[in-house]
């Protein structure tokens, strides 16, 4: 673990030297030996974020930018940071909150999003799965419980929620006329997503982890049908550091975990990675570098092979193998996008359950 209690003593019981500015240390970074005071730690998060945005050309002057705010520690921190660093840059910032419809959980996070947006003076759009798809996540999962025995295959809540959430954010962004959506995926999230896709054999989604794919300077973005850019300004910052940042800056964030979070493999991967990091500080950073190297060597969509020089040139020109979904018209790797497949699945479950009940 990397944090130090505010009295100057670390969670391991070891005292650390003062920050380089002379103030009392509140956070110790085991991976590089830094001892930081409250102010220097907060400043470092701002600087890391700005460096990532610049490195991967994530933003252009005048962009209309939306921050996806779930109400958790990462997203409230991202809205706070983006609100500060975008001042005077000619861009307009918005917040988007998607209510998936998880009773007893989502209400708090929506309140947090409203609170932080109001505090920062940032316009907030709150919308929901029910608005876009006609059902809540709770309702969809209730249908699943009844029908999955007939399908003989368990589909996790995360596998269902992910595509619907991404599509909801896209539709909300379209309502606001945005150029860019910033999500609060941190370094840990990126690594976990890599392993999830690795274990499922989804090399295409591993390719999409490359932050330079379709950035604001890339011909691939301007020439392709991916009109809305997606960026991850926190992708090089540890989850633990963002939690500490939210805490010392008194930002509101979700106190409870999603009740469905343990259905998938992500929690196990997170725990294993945290164990490795505790024993080998910095291993997450080296893993991220390897992941980005692998991602940049894979084709955008389609085949599971290293691209030829000709294929790479086509990718740079935006001539990738992405298709349009036959149902909704959104860009998709297949004939039907994952969001439409999920909606169709829920509809089929409802039909099946009606038959079973009769």
Q: What is the pLDDT of residues 143-165, one digit of tens each?
A: 776 666 555 566 788 888 999 99
Element (H, E) at 343: helix 338-357
Residues sharing a CB contact under 8 Å with residue 327, sequence separation 6 or more, in sequence order: 336, 337, 340, 344
Burial class for 8, CB neighbours closer than 10 Å (0-12, 13-18, 19+): middle
CB 229 within 8 A of CB 221: yes
Q: What is the pLDDT of residues 96-111, one digit of tens each?
A: 999 999 999 999 999 9
* DSSP letter string, 43-109: HHHHHHHHHHHHHTT---TT-EEEEE--SSHHHHHHHHHHHHHTTTTT-EEEEEEEE---TTTHHHH
- pLDDT of the residue at 321: 54
Domain boundaries, the chain: 43-320
Of the candidates 114, 128, 201, 205, the residue with the CA atom closest to the CA atom of residue 161: 128
Structure tokens at 148: 């999955």
Question: Measured on CA atoms in the order 232, 238, 243, 244, is the torsion positive or negative?
Answer: negative
Q: What is the pLDDT of residues 6-19, one digit of tens each?
A: 555 555 556 678 99
CB 18 within 8 A of CB 25: yes
Q: What is the pTM of this model?
A: 0.85
pLDDT 10s digit of each residue in the chain, 358 long?
Answer: 555 555 555 555 566 789 999 999 999 999 999 999 999 999 999 999 999 999 999 999 899 999 999 999 999 999 999 999 998 778 899 999 999 999 999 999 999 999 999 999 999 999 999 999 999 999 988 877 666 655 556 678 888 899 999 999 999 999 999 999 999 999 999 999 999 999 989 888 899 899 987 665 654 444 344 578 999 999 999 999 999 999 999 998 888 888 888 888 899 999 999 999 999 999 999 999 999 999 999 864 444 344 444 444 444 444 455 678 888 888 776 788 889 988 888 887 766 555 545 4
Burial class for 286, CB neighbours closer than 10 Å (0-12, 13-18, 19+): exposed
Q: What is the pLDDT of residues 329-342, one digit of tens each?
A: 887 767 888 899 88
CB 298 within 8 A of CB 307: yes
Question: Measured on CA atoms in the order 76, 78, 82, 84, is the torsion positive or negative?
Answer: positive
Residues sharing a CB contact under 8 Å with residue 222, sequence separation 6 or more, in sequence order: 318
CB 206 within 8 A of CB 194: yes
CB 10 within 8 A of CB 3: yes
- pLDDT of the residue at 224: 44
- pLDDT of the residue at 332: 75
CATH number attached to the domain at 43-320: 3.40.50.620
């Amino acid at each position: 673990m990397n944090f130090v209690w505010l009295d100057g003593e670390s969670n391991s019981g070891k005292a650390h030297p003062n920050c380089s500015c002379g103030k009392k240390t509140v956070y110790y970074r085991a991976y590089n030996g830094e001892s930081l005071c409250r102010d220097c730690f907060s400043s470092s998060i701002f600087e890391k974020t700005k460096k990532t945005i610049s490195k991967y050309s994530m933003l252009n002057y005048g962009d209309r930018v939306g921050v996806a705010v779930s109400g958790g520690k990462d997203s409230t921190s991202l809205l706070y940071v983006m609100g500060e660093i975008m001042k005077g840059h000619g861009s307009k910032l918005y917040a988007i909150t998607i209510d998936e419809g998880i009773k007893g959980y989502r209400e708090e996070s929506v309140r947090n999003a409203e609170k932080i947006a109001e505090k920062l003076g940032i316009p907030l759009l709150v919308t929901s799965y029910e608005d876009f798809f006609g059902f809540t996540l709770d309702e969809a999962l209730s249908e699943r419980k009844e029908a999955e025995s007939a399908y003989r295959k368990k589909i996790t809540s995360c596998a269902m929620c992910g595509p619907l959430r991404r599509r909801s954010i896209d539709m909300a962004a379209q309502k606001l006329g945005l150029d860019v959506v910033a999500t609060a995926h941190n370094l840990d999230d990126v690594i976990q997503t890599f392993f999830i896709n690795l274990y499922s054999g989804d090399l295409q989604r591993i390719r999409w982890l490359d932050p330079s794919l379709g950035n604001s300077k890339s011909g691939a973005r301007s020439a392709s049908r991916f009109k809305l850019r997606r960026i991850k300004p926190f992708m090089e910052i540890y989850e633990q550091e963002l939690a500490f940042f939210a805490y010392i800056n008194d930002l509101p964030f979700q106190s409870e975990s999603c009740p469905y979070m343990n259905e998938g493999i992500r929690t196990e991967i997170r725990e294993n990675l945290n164990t490795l990091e505790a024993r080998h500080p910095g291993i997450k950073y080296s893993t991220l570098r390897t992941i980005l190297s692998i991602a940049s060597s894979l084709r955008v969509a389609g085949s599971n092979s290293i691209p030829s020089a000709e294929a790479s040139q086509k990718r740079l020109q935006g001539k990738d193998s992405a298709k349009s979904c036959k149902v909704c018209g959104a860009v998709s790797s297949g004939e039907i996008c994952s969001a439409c497949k999920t909606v169709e699945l829920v509809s089929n479950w409802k039909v099946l359950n009606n038959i079973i009940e009769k």
